[in-house]
Structure formats: structure tokens, C-alpha cells
Structure 1
Amino acid sequence: MAIIDVSYFSNALMRNVVYKAVIPTDSPAMKNIAPHEVKPFKTLYLLHGIMGGHNDWLVNTRIAKLAQKYNVAVIMPSGDNSFYVDQQAGHNYYGEFIGRELVEETRKLFPLSFKREDTFIGGLSMGGYGALRNGLKYYNTFGAIVALSAALIIDQAVASSEEAEWIFARRSYYEYVFGDLSKLKGSDKDPEFLVKKIKEEKGVIPRIYIACGTEDFLVENNRKFRDFLAAEGVEHTYVEDRGFHDWKFWDKYIEKALQWLVE
């Protein structure tokens, strides 16, 4: 297994960026255990939550061991506090960075499969939203989406004010991230709109796996999106389990998600 820090100049963000890559290229020689077959890897682009960074998953979960166990390459970029959407004013095209550029750049460096069915995107909280948004927007690239405790906060953003105690719930922050909030619903930053758009285009909606803790403050948001998918006739896997908005839950469910991805 190789764990690598990669730095390159991103044209989508107009600056040098760093991402972490876990590539299960080797394994210990052990009696009666066959080594991993070296071939183009299935790949999971895995996104962190708000106030996080590209080391979060590696530090707080078993993702390196799980990449080796399930023979999946894992690419972990930094998305700052961007919700992984394009912010034109500052030339911060985080959506393009995640959904197109990073995939192209990593395929140049590592033996990754170019197949849609082998290319996945996932994340937690803000990254869960980012995985849904970019997995749906770039549905010709990604064959599956994993959203853990997804921050599906479009309605809250539209209804927000400056009175919120937490800075990341204030209207000014949401305007910085999403732009004109009066145009947010029905835009390409709205996962519900993107699902309907794929259907109109007669495209193939990626497989979707959603998990959220029953004690998580975002559980109602996730249930609402589950109900939307059901109403639209979109096949998906939705799981609730006892748990909070924390690494204990995400460590448990990233393994379940990987099992689901490679089936």
C-alpha cells in the first residue's frame, strides 16, 4: 500500500493544491493469501467536512486499511469550506476541480480505471453534499455516490439570516459559497434539480448510498432527500443507525459503503 501526498497546479482553482492518495499497489506475502491483482483500480474520491482537510479521513478512520482490504484506490482532496461548488467571483471552481480536473490528473499519475462503473465519489457532512452535487452533475464520470451524514442544507441556506450564532450558518457565509440565494433552488447546486435534469436528459443516475445517524442533527435533511428519491423513482440505498455526527459513525459506515461499492 502506498500513501502519497501530491501537489500540482490546479487551473480550476488557479493555485497549487495538495491531495492525499492511498493506492493499494502491494501487500505482504502471506501463506495461503493471494496478493492483490495489479490492474486499473476502482477509485473513490473521498471528501472531508467543513473545517476539515485532506488528511482528515486518514487520521480519523481506517480508510488506508480499508483501501487495501477492498482493493480500491482512495483520493482525498481539500475543499476548504467551499461545499465543493463553483464560486466564479474568486475563480474557485471547486466543482470543476472535484468533478473533472482531479479525476483527469489522478488518472495520469496512477493506474486507475477509466470506467464510469469503477469511479466513485463520497464524503461526510459538507463532503456528503459535495459528493451528491458533483456525482450528479458529473454523472457521466461517476458511477456511484456515497453520502454520509450529508449536509443537505439548501432550504436552510435560502431561509438563513445573519442572526445565527455559528458563522457557517449565517446568510453571508451561504452567499459567499452559493451566490445569489434566491437562485439556489433549481440551480446546479441543488441535488434535487440535478436528479430531475438527469432524468430529462435520459441519463443514467449514479448508484446512491446514504447513511445517517439517528442522533445526527442532519437526519431530517437526509430523510427528506431519501423521500425525494423515492418519489422520483430513483433507486438508492438508505441506512439509519444509532449514531451522532462524528468519526465513530463515519468510520463504521465508510467500510459498509466500500462493501456496497465493490459488490
Structure 2
Amino acid sequence: MMRVLLLSGMLMGLAFADPSHVELLSVKSAVLDRNMAVKVYLPPDYDDQQKYPVVYLLHPYGGDEKFWLGALDTREVMDRLIEQKKVRPFLVVSPNYDNSFAVNSREAIVGVNAGRYSDYLTQELVSFIDSKYSTVTSRDGRFIGGTSMGGYAALQLGLTHTELFSKIAAQSAALWDGKDDLYQDQRDWLYPNPETRSDRDPFKLITKVNLKALHFRIDVGKSDLLREVNEHFVRELREAGANIEFSEDKGDHDLAYWSSQLADFLTFFGKPE
């Protein structure tokens, strides 16, 4: 009977001895002075004798650690892409970082959290993941991406910490260029003065770093109200000579559009070399 079951599994295309799994962690943050929830996807046949790249994925406004590994079918899509050999196996880290835009801040406004979130993500969380799992600890094997608020956060963190990340993906990114800006209260909180804006605004940050050392993927829905500002950012990247993939497809600023892009989004990080 065992041989029959094994053969049946092979005929169904089950290529893995051990399935993928998702772990829910509680990470003690000294800079935030509390425990922070994190979900981690471990690929099928995870082996702590191998070194795996890591992708940090940041949720949109109102999301949490369950967005990428819950609201979106990231586990199922990753399993399929790995089995089809469209991506090499990698870890997905989905942290909660509240509605903070992943910056270090002292004062909150309504609907936005203040605290040392940038330090938590880039110092404490990266160090924790590298110590707990068998990861590639150089920037060549560490990537960052996100959606909406998380798209802004991925760009801001990735461009500020080029020593940590080599690939950056932003989806429906919350950006501001002074042309019919949306969410102006959040913009003014993020950019209270020119000096702070110079340190946080991805439009400014791309003028300060070696873009040749980075790979970008930007996508946005054709009906998204943030489409034009995302297009503007892509033009700026291209004019600066960045290595960038850009995609526009049918969709809005919503879960249906983000789900439709998930396979391509994940493939960007894990293309076989």
C-alpha cells in the first residue's frame, strides 16, 4: 500500500519530501519596547545546511503580518513557482510594522504610528532572521518589497540601506511628487521639512545612491489613483539609468489587482541565475 501511495503522489506531481510551512514569530524589539509579530515562509524541503535568500515583504496601510501570508496566497504561489523551477527557493518574511511607513519618528498623527520602526526592521529584525534561519547574509541574497504604504517603505528602506538590500520591488507605491498629491496629511507628516524629505523621499533618494548596484520592479494598476505618480517615479529611475522592470495592468488599488500580480512579483526576487 505504501508503494501505491508513493507512486500516486509522484503521478500527481508532488516533488517535495517535506512541504513548505509558515511560522508565526514574536520578536522582542528593544527600540520599540514591545514584541512584534512576524510571519515567515519556509520553502519545501527547507534544509538548514543550505543558505537561502530572504525577501522582506511589507504590508499596506491597515495591514499586518498576515497580509502577505494570509490575505494573499503567497505560500501557495511560492510552492508552485518553486515546483515549476521558475524561482529558486527563498524565505519570505512578513513583519507587522503598524501604520508607520517604516520610518523612525517621534510624533504620531491620527492613523499613523510613531516609533523607531526603521531601526526595528533594518537592525533588529534582519539580525534576528539571520540568526534563526539559514540565510544568505550578504546583500546579494537579501531583498525587499511591498504594496502601497509598503511600496513606499520598501523603496525608502532599500534606497537608504543599500548595504542590506540588492533588489527592491514596489507595488502601487504611496508616493508624492507635488502634482495632485493624495493623502496630504500623511505626506506632510513624513516630510515636515526639506531636510527630512531629502532623507525619506524616494524621488530624492535615487539621486544619492549607486543605482547600478540595485534592481527594481515597479507595478501599478491602470485604474489606480496613484498610477501617474508611480509612472513619474519610473521615468526618474530610467533617466538615471536604473535597472528596472515596470508593469501596468488592468486593476485598481485593491487586493484583486495585487493578487493578479503576485506570481510575477515573487518571480522578480527568485529568478534562477
Interval of TM-score (by shorter of Structure 1 and Structure 2): 0.7 to 0.9
Native 8 Å contact 2:142 2:167 kept in 1: yes
CA RMSD between the two structures: 2.4
1:99-152 deviations in Å (ceiling 9; x for gaps) = 232111111111111121111100100000000000111111101011011111
**2:23 — aligned with what?**
4
TM-score (norm 1): 0.83
Q: Provide the secondary structure at the position in 1 that maps to 2:262.
A: helix
Whether 1:193 and 2:191 are equivalent positions in the alignment is no
Q: Corresponding residue for 1:124? A: 147
Counterpart in 1 of 2:132? 109
1:147 matched residue in structure 2: 170
- 1:134 maps to 2:157: yes
Aligned 8 A contact 1:216 1:243 in 2: yes
Residue in 2 that maps onto 1:80: 98
Aligned partner of 2:241 in structure 1 is 233
The answer to whether residue 23 in structure 2 is matched with residue 41 in structure 1 is: no
Unaligned regions of 5+ residues in structure 1, if any? 28-35
1:13 pairs with one of 32, 40, 50 = 32
CA displacement, residues 51-103 of structure 1 (integer Å, 9 cap, x when unaligned): 11110122222201233334221000112111111113577111122223211
Checking the alignment, whether the CA contact within 8 Å between 1:154 and 1:184 is kept in structure 2 is: no
Aligned residue number for residue 24 of structure 1: 43
Aligned length: 240
The 8 Å contact of residues 212 and 241 in structure 2, kept in 1 or not, is answered as no
1:220 aligns with 2:232: no
Q: Kindly tell me: are residues 97 and 205 of structure 1, through their superposed partners in 2, closer, same or farther at Cα, counting changes over 3 Å?
A: farther
- Counterpart of 2:241, as a letter, is G
Whose Rg is larger? 2
Task: Tell me, in whole angstroms, the C-alpha distance in 1 between the residues paired with 2:121 and 2:176.
Answer: 20
Once the two structures are TM-superposed, the CA of residue 184 in structure 1 deviates from its matched residue by 4.1
Matched with 1:57 is 68
Shift of 1:13: 1.6
Look up the SS of the partner of 1:106 in the other structure: helix
Aligned to 2:10: none
SS at match of 1:147: strand
TM-score normalized by the length of structure 2: 0.80
Q: Give the 5 Å matches for 1:243-262.
A: 243-262=251-270
Q: How does 1:79-98 map to 2 (within 5 A)?
A: 79-89=97-107, 92-98=115-121
What SS does the aligned partner of 2:208 have? helix
Percentage of matched positions with identical amino acids: 29
What is the distance in 1 between the residues matched to 2:213 and 2:100? 24
**CA distance in structure 2 between the aligned counterparts of 1:81 and 1:222, rounded to whole angstroms:** 21
Q: C-alpha separation between the residues in 1 aligned to 2:191 and 2:227?
A: 26
CA drift at 1:242: 1.0
For residues 175 and 21 of structure 2, what CA distance do their matches in structure 1 show?
A: 33
Partner of 1:206: 214
Moved segments of 4+, more than 6 Å: none
Q: Which runs of 5+ in 2 are unaligned?
A: 1-19, 109-113
Preserved contact between residue 48 and residue 134 of structure 2 (Cα < 8 Å): no
Q: Which amino acid aligns with 1:84?
A: A
